[in-house]
């Protein structure tokens, strides 16, 4: 856009081929609409639900599951060397595909629900605009505005396009959604020097900002995508969706798993082929495929989606809407939060904080408590009479500064509307930027009383007397010095000072309304911080999260707010936009770790800040509500928009929306995110540890017997039913709040980092228990039924008898398979409760939290396992387990469960205790060695940490003390 702020009005009128008095003709408008298009912001394309559903099938983990499903159909055909297929051959395929479809449905439903929540937050109104065309004033749809149109603006109206002001009368605009500056800007029609800082373009009205006072006329200089708002919207829409850290880790993990499964399958097949009968290659291939399936955690995708889905529901109840499932985990990984000030850390509501009365500074609360007096009566009238703002219920109309005065008056029982009805305004001199004063004349007790408010330095120039201790005396230079000194003290703390005076001189005329006034007092106000934001920042620091404030306000104001938030204390921690412009990328990277506040920034500055923090290896969250926040919301690893005051553009750019506009709520999201990641890691430890146990046990037994002890159906039942029940229950478990006492996990931390030892422990203990269970179970085999002529062991008979076909061998080991199956199903029901990955190192007290969802899941999994093991028809025909009684198979009367072998069931349950007892014992040893065993290095380390923490607390206390002294 051209530098219209520095051009003369006559040149602008000529360049835009318009007439400032008559406006454009309809013919000109029609031509420009054809060439430039409607004045509408670009809207991002919405991915249809069916595309989201289909895309879920091509994610790496889903592809692996589909391949596993295909293998489960192909494997029996290859092993049996026949094309004959039965329903039994499709059971595994159906189960796996069902898991894939359910996972895709969950992801699609969550995405659509989040989108509907966002749509419900959008404004429903269609903006209108008053323009001058063909010499006539008319109201049109803002979408029909074109460059060169003359737009008329009044207080309470949104600016419909980018305007160069050509006339202004006490014209003020709230630009906080664009610049982040909380105080409305006084606009004028004079040309200014060219500037890139939007907040300093005092003769430009920006699209979508809000007029708060006065009247203005402007010429449209940019519409739609060419406006500052449009450029931001276009930049947000052009950004490609980047994968979240969790998605990247899951993708990497899925590739790793697929390679591991292929390696295990090929290795086992080759080992068995070269050590056994090569004519039995089909059987070896079946064993290899079974083991490969055993490596793949088929239920992981469903576990992750269900865990995230439960978390998003829980977060929705906490006023956090998550637009994308994987964004939940990203919140937990954040180690830097960049936040807008206005409306996010502050209340976005100017509030009186201090009062200057009797030449002293007191708090607004102390002034409220003062008894009634002449000064207080006049002060209360000064708050509401020279004031045009109105409050009624939730409706608040007017300048934020004047609204603050009305709010303060209401604290003392004064209603502005009743006061104005009682003391009617008979005359006035409106506020203007040159005088910096506003004066009204009100009729009080049949007398004309003048009330003036404005900048304290300008007001003192027109005052000749002062009320001190309820006495009216002459205003001396010493009095002026004391008042200005107090005002300077307040201004240094970024408070905006407004002063009041009055006159009841009966000889006053309009020419001298603002002369010989009596100084009453002054107020100091600011947009105060949210109390909950202070607590949230403290919580963030405790969690190892750095908070960076980014604002459009001046550096002094920003630092004052930062002090109140315990965020920054010195000017060295604040960087202005001018300094940011001077810094190269390399220079910015060197200093950015020391900067806690960025002031007077433009939207493109915010993107640059976020980008620099990301280059330093940080996971960055950006919170905000204005259009000016949208590009950085989109650029950040996770963008968090405000749902109430947030603009549509900001909500569109964000990944998460806070429906209560409370910065503190984001910390609840961080806690949930950390717990989600922890739960997913616990589920992975369970799945991978148990799969490792299956691989170890099947590998060992297969290498000994050259036949798989478990069938693919057994493995899939264990993986998809038993493991899934437990893993999903882990995701539904209670939150571990101690995670907020740890620094965030960021950088190149894979899903397996810190989890290998628990996985190996589970794999070895559970694998050993399964192997032992198999060989104990084989002791229940009656080998005489199989044709043994002596009392040789089952192993000798199995290895030396050549009459056993593959089918015979599979049937022969049914007792061993059953015992191994019972142990394998039962063992994780116990050790799933022992998988602890939280900060046990930080606390000597073992805090066991019983997860009721996990208890219920264990009982359900146990029940399903017993059904499979003992229900006739299911146990033998589908899962190849031991049947009941005597059964004739291929001419042999094979014994099933009877009084002589019932002991095996109890023995199998007993061997299921090996893994949890082994895990419990090793964890106890590690816990003792870490916390209780004497270690000089640890003692020294704790002493150093305590000394550093004491120094840090002392520095903070001193900074707070200095701040209080200053105030």
pTM for the structure as a whole: 0.67
Contact 304, 250 (CB under 8 A): yes
* pLDDT score, position 315: 83
Q: Enter the DSSP assignment of 865.
A: H
What DSSP string runs through 178-211? HH--SSPEEP-SS-----S-GGG-TTEEPTT-EE
Q: Enter the DSSP assignment of 121.
A: H
Distance of alpha carbon 354 from alpha carbon 490, whole angstroms: 8
Q: How confident is the model at residue 92 (pLDDT cuts 50, 70, 90)?
A: low
Of the candidates 596, 562, 537, the one whose C-alpha atom is nearest the C-alpha of residue 609 is 596
For residue 897, pLDDT beyond 80: yes
Distance of alpha carbon 150 from alpha carbon 140, whole angstroms: 12
* pLDDT score, position 774: 94
Structure tokens at 209: 């900002």
* pLDDT score, position 282: 62
* pLDDT score, position 121: 41
Neighbours of 219 (CB within 10 A): 26
For residue 783, pLDDT beyond 90: no
Of the candidates 633, 664, 637, 636, the one whose C-alpha atom is nearest the C-alpha of residue 647 is 633
- Which has more pLDDT, 517 or 388? 517
* pLDDT score, position 182: 62
Query: Mean pLDDT highest for which of 179-183, 393-397, 644-648, 952-956?
Result: 393-397
pLDDT, tens digit (0-9, with 9 covering 90-100), for 369-381: 999 999 999 999 9
The 3 state secondary structure assigned to 417-476 is HHHHHHCCEEEEECCCCCCCEEEEEEEECCEEEEEEEECHHHHHHCEEEEEECCEEEECC
Distance of alpha carbon 306 from alpha carbon 870, whole angstroms: 31
Structure tokens at 218: 């402007």
* pLDDT score, position 873: 79
For the range 421-426, what are the long-range contacts, defined as Cβ-Cβ under 8 Å and sequence gap of 24 or more? 423/381, 423/385, 423/449, 425/385
Contact 211, 201 (CB under 8 A): no
Distance of alpha carbon 225 from alpha carbon 223, whole angstroms: 6
For residue 453, pLDDT beyond 90: yes
For residue 499, pLDDT beyond 90: yes
- Which has more pLDDT, 2 or 338? 338
Residues near 20 by Cβ (< 8 Å), separated by ≥ 6?
9, 13, 150, 166, 217, 219
* pLDDT score, position 845: 61
Average pLDDT over residues 756-761: 86
Structure tokens at 908: 């199998």
| Helix pair 724-731, 300-317: axis angle to 10 deg | 20
| Bridge partners for 262 per DSSP | none
Average pLDDT over residues 323-345: 80
Q: How confident is the model at residue 83 (pLDDT cuts 50, 70, 90)?
A: low
Distance of alpha carbon 880 from alpha carbon 893, whole angstroms: 16
Among 162-171, 328-337, 835-844, 864-873, the range scoring the smallest mean pLDDT is: 835-844
- Which has more pLDDT, 267 or 589? 589
Where b means 16+ CB within 10 Å and e means fewer, 566-590 reads bbbbeeebbbbbebbeebeeeebee
Structure tokens at 286: 């079946």
Distance of alpha carbon 853 from alpha carbon 140, whole angstroms: 59
What DSSP string runs through 676-743? HHHHHHHHHHHHHHHHHHHHHHHHHHHHHHSS-SS-HHHHHHIIIIIIHHHHHHHHTSPP-GGGGGS-
Distance of alpha carbon 691 from alpha carbon 681, whole angstroms: 15
For residue 840, pLDDT beyond 50: yes
Query: Mean pLDDT highest for which of 606-615, 619-628, 699-708?
Result: 606-615
For residue 329, pLDDT beyond 80: no
* pLDDT score, position 799: 77
* pLDDT score, position 122: 43
| Bridge partners for 361 per DSSP | 356
* pLDDT score, position 509: 84
* pLDDT score, position 458: 92
What DSSP string runs through 823-852? HHHHHHHHHGGG---SSGGG-SS--PPP-H
Binning the chain into helix, strand and coil, the percentages to the nearest 5 are 55, 15, 30
Average pLDDT over residues 441-470: 93
What percentage of the chain has pLDDT greater than the value 90?
Answer: 23
| Helix pair 814-831, 903-911: axis angle to 10 deg | 40
Q: How far is CA 454 from CA 216, 324, 496, in A?
A: 22, 50, 11
Catalytic positions are 340
pLDDT, tens digit (0-9, with 9 covering 90-100), for 261-301: 778 778 877 877 777 666 666 667 666 766 776 677 766 76
Neighbours of 128 (CB within 10 A): 14
Q: How far is CA 757 from CA 211, 723, 748, 832, in A?
A: 63, 19, 19, 15
pLDDT, tens digit (0-9, with 9 covering 90-100), for 542-587: 888 999 998 878 888 888 889 888 898 888 999 988 889 889 989 9
pLDDT, tens digit (0-9, with 9 covering 90-100), for 194-231: 887 787 888 999 888 888 778 899 999 988 888 887 77
For residue 90, pLDDT beyond 80: no
| Bridge partners for 205 per DSSP | 163
Distance of alpha carbon 39 from alpha carbon 146, whole angstroms: 7
pLDDT, tens digit (0-9, with 9 covering 90-100), for 400-444: 889 999 999 999 999 999 999 999 999 999 887 778 899 999 999
* pLDDT score, position 373: 93
What DSSP string runs through 366-418? HHHHSPP-HHHHHHHHHHHSS---EEETTEEES-HHHHHHHHHHHHTT--HHH
Positive or negative torsion for Cα 357, 359, 364, 368: negative
Contact 64, 258 (CB under 8 A): yes
| Helix pair 914-931, 814-831: axis angle to 10 deg | 30
């Amino acid at each position: 856009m051209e530098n219209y702020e520095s051009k003369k009005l006559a040149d602008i009128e000529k360049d835009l081929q318009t007439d400032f008095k008559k406006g454009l003709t309809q013919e000109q408008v029609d031509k420009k609409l054809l060439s430039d298009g409607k004045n509408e912001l670009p809207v991002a394309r919405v991915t249809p639900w069916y595309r989201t559903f289909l895309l879920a099938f091509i994610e790496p983990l889903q592809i692996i599951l589909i391949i596993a499903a295909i293998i489960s159909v192909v494997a029996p055909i290859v092993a049996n060397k026949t094309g004959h297929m039965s329903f039994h051959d499709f059971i595994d395929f159906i189960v796996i595909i069902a898991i894939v479809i359910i996972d895709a449905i969950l992801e699609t439903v969550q995405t659509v629900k989040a989108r509907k929540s966002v749509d419900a937050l959008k404004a429903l109104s269609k903006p209108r605009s008053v323009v001058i065309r063909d010499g006539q004033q008319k109201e049109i749809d803002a979408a029909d505005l074109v460059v060169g149109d003359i737009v008329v603006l009044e207080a309470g109206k949104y600016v419909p396009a980018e305007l160069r002001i050509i006339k202004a009368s006490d014209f003020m605009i709230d630009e906080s959604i664009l610049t982040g500056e909380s105080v409305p800007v006084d606009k004028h029609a004079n040309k200014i020097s060219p500037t890139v800082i939007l907040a300093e373009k005092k003769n430009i009205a920006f699209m979508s900002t809000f007029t708060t006072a006065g009247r203005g006329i402007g010429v449209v200089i940019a519409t739609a995508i060419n406006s500052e708002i449009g450029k931001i919207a276009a930049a947000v829409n052009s950004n490609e969706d980047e994968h979240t850290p969790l998605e990247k880790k899951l993708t990497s993990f899925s590739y790793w798993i697929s390679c591991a499964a292929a390696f295990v399958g090929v290795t086992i097949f080759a080992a068995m082929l070269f050590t056994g009968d090569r004519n039995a290659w089909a059987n070896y291939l079946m064993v290899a495929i079974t083991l490969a399936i055993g490596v793949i955690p088929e239920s992981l995708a469903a576990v992750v989606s269900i865990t995230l889905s439960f978390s998003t529901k829980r977060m929705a109840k906490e006023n956090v809407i998550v637009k994308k499932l994987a964004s939940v985990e990203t919140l937990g990984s954040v180690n830097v939060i960049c936040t807008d000030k206005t409306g996010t850390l502050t209340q976005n509501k100017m509030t009186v904080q201090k009062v200057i009365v009797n030449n002293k500074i007191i708090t607004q609360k102390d002034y409220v408590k003062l008894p009634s007096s002449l000064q207080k009566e006049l002060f209360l009238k000064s708050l509401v009479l020279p004031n045009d703002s109105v409050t009624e219920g939730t409706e608040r109309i007017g300048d934020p500064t004047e609204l603050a005065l009305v709010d303060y008056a209401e604290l003392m029982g004064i209603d502005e509307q009743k006061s104005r009805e009682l003391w009617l305004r008979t005359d006035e001199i409106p506020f203007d930027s040159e005088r910096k004063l506003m004066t009204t004349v009100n009729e009080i007790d049949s007398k004309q009383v003048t009330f003036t408010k404005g900048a304290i330095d300008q007001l003192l120039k027109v005052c000749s007397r002062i009320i001190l201790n309820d006495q009216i005396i002459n205003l001396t230079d010493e009095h002026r010095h004391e008042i200005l000194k107090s005002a300077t003290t307040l201004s240094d703390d970024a408070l905006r000072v407004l002063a009041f005076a009055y006159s009841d001189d009966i000889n006053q005329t309009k020419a001298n309304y603002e002369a010989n006034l009596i100084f009453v007092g002054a107020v100091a106000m600011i947009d105060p911080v949210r109390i909950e934001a202070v607590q949230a920042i403290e919580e963030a620091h405790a969690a190892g999260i750095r908070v960076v404030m980014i604002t459009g306000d001046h550096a002094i104001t920003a630092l004052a707010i930062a002090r109140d938030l315990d965020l920054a204390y010195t000017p060295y921690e604040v960087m202005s936009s001018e300094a940011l412009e001077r810094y190269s990328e390399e220079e910015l990277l060197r200093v950015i770790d020391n900067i806690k506040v960025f002031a007077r920034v433009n939207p493109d500055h915010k993107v640059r800040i976020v980008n620099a923090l990301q280059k330093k290896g940080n996971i960055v969250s950006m919170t905000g509500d204005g259009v000016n926040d949208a590009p950085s919301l989109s650029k950040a690893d996770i963008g968090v928009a405000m749902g109430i005051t947030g603009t549509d553009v900001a909500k569109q750019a964000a990944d998460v929306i806070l429906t209560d506009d409370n910065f503190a709520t984001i910390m609840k999201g961080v806690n949930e995110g950390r717990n989600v990641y922890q739960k997913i890691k616990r589920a992975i430890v369970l799945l991978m540890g148990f799969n490792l146990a299956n691989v170890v046990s099947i590998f060992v037994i297969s290498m000994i017997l050259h036949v798989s002890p478990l069938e693919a159906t057994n493995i899939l039942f264990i993986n998809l039913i038993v493991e899934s029940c437990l893993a999903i229950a882990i995701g539904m478990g209670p939150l571990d709040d101690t995670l907020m006492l740890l620094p965030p996990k960021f950088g190149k931390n894979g899903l397996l980092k810190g989890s290998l030892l628990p996985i190996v422990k589970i794999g070895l203990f559970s694998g050993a228990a399964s192997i032992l269970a198999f060989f104990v179970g084989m002791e229940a085999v009656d080998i005489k039924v199989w044709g043994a002529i002596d009392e040789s062991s089952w192993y000798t008979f199995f290895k030396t008898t050549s009459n056993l076909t593959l089918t015979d061998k599979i049937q022969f080991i049914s007792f061993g398979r059953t015992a191994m199956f019972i142990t394998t199903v039962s063992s994780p029901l116990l050790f799933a409760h022992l998988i602890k990955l939280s900060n046990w190192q930080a606390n000597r007290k073992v805090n066991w939290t019983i997860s009721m969802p996990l208890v219920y899941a264990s009982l359900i999994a146990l029940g399903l396992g017993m059904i499979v093991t003992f229900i006739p028809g299911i146990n033998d025909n589908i899962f190849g387990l031991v049947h009941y009684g005597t059964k004739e198979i291929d001419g042999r009367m094979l014994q099933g469960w009877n009084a002589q072998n019932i002991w095996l069931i109890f023995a199998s349950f007993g061997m299921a205790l090996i893994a949890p007892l082994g895990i419990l014992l090793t964890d106890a040893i590690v816990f003792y060695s870490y916390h209780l065993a004497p270690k000089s290095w640890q003692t020294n380390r704790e002493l150093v940490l305590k000394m550093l923490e004491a120094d840090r607390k002392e520095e903070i206390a001193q900074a707070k003390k200095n701040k209080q002294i200053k105030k």
